[in-house]
């Protein structure tokens, strides 16, 4: 079996041209990003955007490239491993009612990108969970880039491990019994206080 090794991913600027036989077709990588990722209300894009929001609060270096294969979403300069979950009352599609709010807390097997092998046992790999709720309920003024439209719930993983309810998801009402919502400027301090790392 051939050992291909791991591909080194470099950060792009968006100005890179799409080419064929060395000639550009007039399209750049930024055009793909705009086409692919402008809908930051959709579940998949909103989840990544929530990670970005939390990373910005934690002063994580954006010169590195997001690694979607890590067993947790973010790691702070102090070594705090963070799992980020998101939910929203409003969606990109037509709705008759607000979406019910629940967050996944499933345990998972860790995939090692260096070896291509999953761990044998499933568990929660982060130190802290940050649940990000896009709480705004007006479709006309919904703007995920306005951080005032979000609220955040921060819990140590140990609390979820001892949670007597569902082991796969947690509802907003259950989350509110365990902790209080905080605003964006308080995220970093809340996480540092819960982990004892500053």
Neighbours of 23 (CB within 10 A): 8
pLDDT, residue 8, reads 79
Inform me whether the pLDDT recorded for 168 exceeds 70.
Answer: yes
Distance between CA atoms of residues 73 and 156, nearest Å:
15
pLDDT, residue 113, reads 64
What stretch of H or E contains 175? helix 172-178
pTM value surpassing 0.75 = yes
Inform me whether the pLDDT recorded for 2 exceeds 60.
Answer: no
Burial of 146 (0-12, 13-18, 19+ CB in 10 A): exposed
pLDDT, residue 198, reads 65
Burial of 21 (0-12, 13-18, 19+ CB in 10 A): exposed
List of residues 6+ apart from 168 with CB closer than 8 A: 104, 105, 106
Half-sphere exposure of 17 (CA within 13 A, CB side): 8
Percent of the chain surpassing pLDDT 70: 94
């Amino acid at each position: 079996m051939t050992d291909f090794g791991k591909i080194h991913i470099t950060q792009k600027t968006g100005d890179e041209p799409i080419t064929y036989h060395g000639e550009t077709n007039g399209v750049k990588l930024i055009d793909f990003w705009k086409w692919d990722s402008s809908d930051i209300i959709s579940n998949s894009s909103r989840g990544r955007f929530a990670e970005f929001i939390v990373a910005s609060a934690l002063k994580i270096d954006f010169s590195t490239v997001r690694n979607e294969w890590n067993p947790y979403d973010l790691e702070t300069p102090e070594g705090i491993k963070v799992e980020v979950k998101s939910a929203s009352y409003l969606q990109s599609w037509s709705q008759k009612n607000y979406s019910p709010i629940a967050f996944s807390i499933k345990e998972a097997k860790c995939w090692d990108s260096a070896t291509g092998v999953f761990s044998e046992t499933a568990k929660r790999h982060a130190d802290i969970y940050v649940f990000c709720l896009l709480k705004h309920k007006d479709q006309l003024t919904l703007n995920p880039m306005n951080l005032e439209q979000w609220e955040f719930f921060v819990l140590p993983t140990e609390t979820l491990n001892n949670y007597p309810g569902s082991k796969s998801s947690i509802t907003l009402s259950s989350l509110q019994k365990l902790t209080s919502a905080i605003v964006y400027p308080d995220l970093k301090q809340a996480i540092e206080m819960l982990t004892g790392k500053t």
